[in-house]
């Protein structure tokens, strides 16, 4: 019989091996993909242009934020009580940011290599094209899984009982990078998308992905930097933060076992994802494709649920005890994790209901297009507002389930919520595969269109694109739902770490914190929407200029100047980034030191509340407008070119920056602020006067903002010229 300590060591090494196995699987898939046929020279030329544009953007992005990352990693060293922890926290922060950047960078780089191979494979068979597209996505998925698990486990093995202090740095690094990648990528992709649609579809009436459109390459680059790099970094961050909060709360509530259980669930998820994603293959039809992907998902779910149930049943049953259900002993930790899977499913169902072409909400938008753009926008707003109510009820339900399982003590209930988050993100590998599948097949379809592919191959790509739209929409709900659950768990960690008896909104200071916190997501959304709007205006003006001044462009005789549009998007995406980052970092510091720890708690609660509401509203309304437009393009109300279609395009264009920039950008923002609050909590509680390093950090960041603001102002002036 093994002793408890021995078992723990074995368990940790097993988890580590699984993490490494996940990474090896990703490498294996990458080698497989790179061996595939690269397609015709024409295709390769387009793919190359996308690749160059995408890399230029990411390099520029990394350069923009490098200084801030360096400043912060130094500042973090001073936030800890000892050199040992301080060093660990700084290194973990760098590790978190680098892992996050790696996931985004690699995911994007594989996507821009996979897309052309999918386009080429479409000439051979549907099955090949599907396999390549899906597996390219899986690479990113397994990187996320593997690196997230690896980081958490390594820190735990090295720091043992002090891991909590270091994990904060790891989580913070991941979230901050995700914030930049999500928002930067989101601004890029939507500026290009809105610009391409407004000049191409609305003004010039040329189809999507038409090579005559000067914005088309920027648009395809955008799919990669936003939907691949940004999305991957964002989910990595949720994956990482749920594990960080589960480990913090687990340790406080149940000691070592409380920490090992979430890691074990994750490891089972990685195994499940490896098995399930590898099983995805299909023959010819579209129906088969969706079925194959779903089958892979179900297989993964079964493997991992059986796995973590066994672990809970045989090893964890003393933790939080068990329920007797139908004569069977069901461990509480298992139930809480299972609640996460149920929540994921219900959030998916809600997302599906509010955004599917076949359901009443989208039909309502379609109906409203008949009376013009204004009613189209209004109906989308009302549907988005409604959807967010249901989503918040689902999340309130998850918290309620956690109370029912673990009781209403804040610590235990929060641990239950954290496990719920762990459960939701168990199958991150599959989720990201499905999500990245969207932009990859979208790109492949674009390359097919631009390179003049014809016949069956073209149809295969169009079908894949359509499947990709569905899978992308399905996984979006989970991304947001899990983000809020993670934020609620972090809030629980904050309560735990400040040891406050209560964070009472009946205290006027806390109420002020609540108000100010609740306002922040609105400020954030205002800035991101404005950034997209400004960038899109620049793009529209440039595209109009090209159509008006380049002779033979509309006839397809001359090539437009793609590079200028790519450059405009790249620059625009950087402009507001630092302001947003510094806003997220400074606001909790200011509230914490001015109004103290209890008000800071109110501030966090306010941010979680309105952040969640706005995020779901924006993503759902955006997707609903998008699908209303697609439904009309499928032939409703006169189809393409009708007045109804024009109204639907305006609705879609309004929704684009909401659903792909502002909405998803709120998730990492909420968590960056929560993590900063956790990091500064001990200093705030000790009521220390601002220490020198904090002053240095704050001043340097304010300086960075000032420069960024000045820079932004200058650019916006030149934009208005």
Interacting residues with its own copies between 507 and 546 (CB under 8 A): 507-512, 514-516, 518-520, 522-523, 525-527, 529-530, 532-533, 536-537, 540-541
Site for its own copies in 348-367 (CB under 8 A): 367
Q: Which tokens hold the place of 524?
A: 């954030």
| Minimum gap (Å) between residue 310 Cβ and its own copies | 29
| Minimum gap (Å) between residue 259 Cβ and its own copies | 22
CB 617 within 8 A of CB 388: yes
Cβ proximity to its own copies, 310 vs 408, nearer residue: 408
Q: Which tokens hold the place of 75?
A: 């500042």
Cβ proximity to its own copies, 138 vs 653, nearer residue: 653
Considering only residues 55, 370, 466, 700, which one is a binding residue for its own copies as defined by CB under 8 A?
Answer: 370
List C-alpha distances in Å: 613 to 348, 494, 525, 533, 664.
Answer: 16, 21, 12, 22, 12
The CA distance from 23 to 16, in Å, is 11
CB 161 within 8 A of CB 128: no
Q: CB-based burial of residue 320 (10 Å sphere; 0-12 exposed, 13-18 middle, 19+ buried)?
A: buried
Residues 175, 178, 182: CA angle, nearest 5 degrees: 140
Q: Which residues pair with 325 in a beta bridge?
A: 328
Considering only residues 194, 420, 490, 580, which one is a binding residue for its own copies as defined by CB under 8 A?
Answer: 194
Q: Which residues pair with 40 in a beta bridge?
A: none
From residue 595 to residue 624, the character string flagging contacts with its own copies as x (rule: CB under 8 A) and all else as - is: ------xx--xx--xx-xx---x-------
Cβ proximity to its own copies, 270 vs 647, nearer residue: 647
The CA distance from 175 to 555, in Å, is 47
Site for its own copies in 389-408 (CB under 8 A): 389, 392-393, 395-396, 399-400, 402-403, 408
Place of tokens 């990201």: 432
| Minimum gap (Å) between residue 629 Cβ and its own copies | 12
Cβ proximity to its own copies, 399 vs 569, nearer residue: 399
Cβ proximity to its own copies, 117 vs 201, nearer residue: 201
Backbone φ, ψ for residue 642 (5° rounding): -75, 170
> Which of 645, 103, 678, 44 shows the shortest CA–CA distance to 376?
645
Binding region for its own copies (CB under 8 A) out of 92-100, 378-386, 558-566, 683-691: 378-386
How many residues lie near its own copies (CB under 8 A)?
A: 84
**DSSP reduced 3-state for 323:** strand
Q: First vs last Cα of the chain: how many Å apart?
A: 77
CB 194 within 8 A of CB 653: yes
Considering only residues 27, 306, 374, 703, which one is a binding residue for its own copies as defined by CB under 8 A?
Answer: 374
Cβ proximity to its own copies, 202 vs 279, nearer residue: 202
Site for its own copies in 45-84 (CB under 8 A): none
Cβ proximity to its own copies, 149 vs 480, nearer residue: 480
279 binds its own copies (CB under 8 A): no
Considering only residues 382, 466, 564, 700, which one is a binding residue for its own copies as defined by CB under 8 A?
Answer: 382
**DSSP reduced 3-state for 501:** coil
| Cα Dmax for the chain | 82
Cβ proximity to its own copies, 134 vs 354, nearer residue: 354
Q: Which tokens hold the place of 491?
A: 């809030």
How many residues are recorded in the chain? Answer: 721
Cβ proximity to its own copies, 85 vs 373, nearer residue: 373
Cβ proximity to its own copies, 336 vs 512, nearer residue: 512
| Minimum gap (Å) between residue 608 Cβ and its own copies | 8
> Which of 407, 415, 592 shows the shortest CA–CA distance to 512?
592
> Which of 273, 305, 279 shows the shortest CA–CA distance to 291?
279
> Which of 244, 262, 241, 270 shows the shortest CA–CA distance to 320?
262
Binding region for its own copies (CB under 8 A) out of 194-202, 229-237, 433-441, 676-684: 194-202
Sorted by sequence, the CB contacts under 8 Å of residue 708 that are 6+ apart come out as: 575, 577, 578, 579, 582
Backbone φ, ψ for residue 444 (5° rounding): -60, -45
Site for its own copies in 638-667 (CB under 8 A): 649-650, 653-654, 657-658
| Minimum gap (Å) between residue 658 Cβ and its own copies | 8
Cβ proximity to its own copies, 301 vs 649, nearer residue: 649
CB 546 within 8 A of CB 632: no
Cβ proximity to its own copies, 281 vs 357, nearer residue: 357
Considering only residues 220, 260, 289, 373, which one is a binding residue for its own copies as defined by CB under 8 A?
Answer: 373
Q: Which residues pair with 211 in a beta bridge?
A: none
Cβ proximity to its own copies, 115 vs 627, nearer residue: 627
Site for its own copies in 409-448 (CB under 8 A): 410, 413-414
The CA distance from 139 to 432, in Å, is 9
Q: Which tokens hold the place of 431?
A: 């989720």
| Minimum gap (Å) between residue 537 Cβ and its own copies | 5
| Minimum gap (Å) between residue 523 Cβ and its own copies | 4
Site for its own copies in 475-514 (CB under 8 A): 488, 491, 495, 500, 502-512, 514
| Minimum gap (Å) between residue 372 Cβ and its own copies | 6
């Amino acid at each position: 019989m093994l002793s408890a300590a021995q078992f723990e060591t074995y368990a940790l090494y097993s988890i580590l091996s699984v993490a490494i196995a996940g990474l090896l699987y990703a490498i294996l898939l990458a080698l497989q993909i790179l061996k595939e046929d690269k397609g015709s020279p024409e295709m390769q030329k387009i793919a190359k242009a996308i690749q160059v544009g995408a890399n230029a953007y990411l390099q520029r992005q990394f350069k923009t934020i490098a200084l801030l990352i360096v400043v912060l990693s130094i500042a973090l060293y001073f936030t800890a009580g000892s050199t040992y922890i301080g060093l660990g926290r700084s290194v973990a922060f760098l590790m978190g940011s680098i892992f996050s950047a790696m996931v985004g960078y690699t995911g994007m780089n594989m996507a821009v290599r996979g897309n052309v191979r999918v386009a080429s494979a479409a000439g051979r068979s549907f099955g090949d094209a599907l396999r390549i597209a899906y597996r390219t996505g899986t690479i990113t998925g397994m990187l996320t899984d593997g690196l997230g698990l690896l980081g958490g486990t390594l820190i735990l093995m090295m720091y043992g009982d002090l891991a909590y202090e270091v994990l904060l740095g790891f989580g913070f690094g991941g979230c901050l990078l995700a914030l930049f990648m999500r928002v930067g990528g989101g601004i890029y992709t939507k500026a290009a998308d809105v610009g391409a649609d407004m000049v191409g579809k609305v003004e010039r009436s040329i189809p999507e992905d038409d090579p005559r459109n000067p914005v088309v390459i920027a648009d395809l680059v955008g799919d990669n930097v936003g939907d691949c790099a940004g999305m991957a970094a964002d989910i990595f961050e949720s994956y990482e933060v749920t594990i960080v909060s589960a480990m913090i709360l687990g340790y406080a509530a149940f000691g070592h076992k409380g920490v090992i259980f979430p890691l074990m669930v994750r490891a089972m998820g990685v195994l499940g994802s490896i098995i399930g994603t590898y099983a995805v293959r299909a023959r010819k039809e579209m129906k088969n494709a969706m079925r194959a992907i779903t089958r892979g998902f179900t297989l993964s779910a079964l493997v991992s649920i059986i796995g973590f149930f066994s672990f809970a049943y045989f090893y964890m049953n003393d933790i939080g005890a068990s329920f007797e259900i139908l004569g069977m002993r069901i461990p509480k930790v298992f139930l809480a994790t299972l609640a996460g899977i149920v929540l994921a499913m219900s959030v998916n169902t809600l997302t599906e209901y509010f955004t599917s072409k076949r359901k009443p909400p989208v039909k309502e938008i379609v109906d409203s297009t008949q009376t013009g753009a204004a009613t189209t926008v209004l109906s989308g707003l009302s549907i988005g507002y409604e959807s967010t109510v249901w989503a918040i009820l689902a999340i309130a339900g998850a918290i309620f389930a956690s109370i029912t399982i673990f009781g209403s003590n804040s610590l235990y209930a929060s641990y239950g919520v954290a496990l719920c988050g762990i459960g939701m993100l168990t199958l991150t590998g599959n989720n990201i595969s499905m999500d990245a599948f969207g932009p990859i097949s979208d790109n492949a379809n674009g390359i097919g269109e631009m390179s003049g592919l014809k016949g069956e191959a073209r149809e295969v790509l169009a079908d894949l694109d359509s499947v990709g739209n569905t899978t992308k929409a399905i996984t979006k709900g989970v991304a947001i739902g899990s983000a809020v659950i993670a934020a609620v768990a972090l809030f629980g960690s904050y309560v735990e770490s400040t040891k406050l008896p209560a964070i009472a909104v009946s205290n006027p200071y806390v109420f002020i914190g609540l108000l100010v916190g609740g306002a922040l997501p609105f400020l954030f959304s205002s800035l991101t929407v404005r950034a997209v709007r400004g960038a899109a205006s620049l793009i529209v003006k440039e595209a109009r200029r090209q159509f008006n001044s380049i002779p033979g462009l509309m006839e397809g005789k001359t090539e437009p100047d793609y590079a200028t549009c790519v450059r405009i998007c790249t620059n625009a995406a950087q402009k507001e980034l630092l302001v947003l980052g510094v806003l997220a970092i400074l606001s909790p510091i200011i509230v914490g030191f001015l109004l103290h720890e209890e008000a800071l708690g109110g501030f966090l609660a306010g941010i979680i509340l309105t952040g969640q509401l706005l995020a779901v509203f924006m993503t759902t309304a955006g997707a609903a407008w998008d699908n209303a437009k697609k439904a009309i393009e499928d032939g409703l109300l006169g189809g393409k070119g009708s007045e109804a279609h024009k109204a639907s395009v305006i609705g879609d264009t309004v929704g684009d920056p909401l659903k792909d920039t502002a909405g998803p950008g709120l998730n990492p923002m909420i968590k960056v602020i929560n993590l900063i609050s956790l990091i500064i909590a001990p200093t705030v509680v000790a009521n220390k006067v601002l220490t020198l390093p904090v002053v240095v950090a704050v001043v340097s960041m304010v300086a960075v903002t000032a420069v960024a603001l000045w820079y932004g102002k200058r650019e916006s002036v030149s934009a208005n010229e």
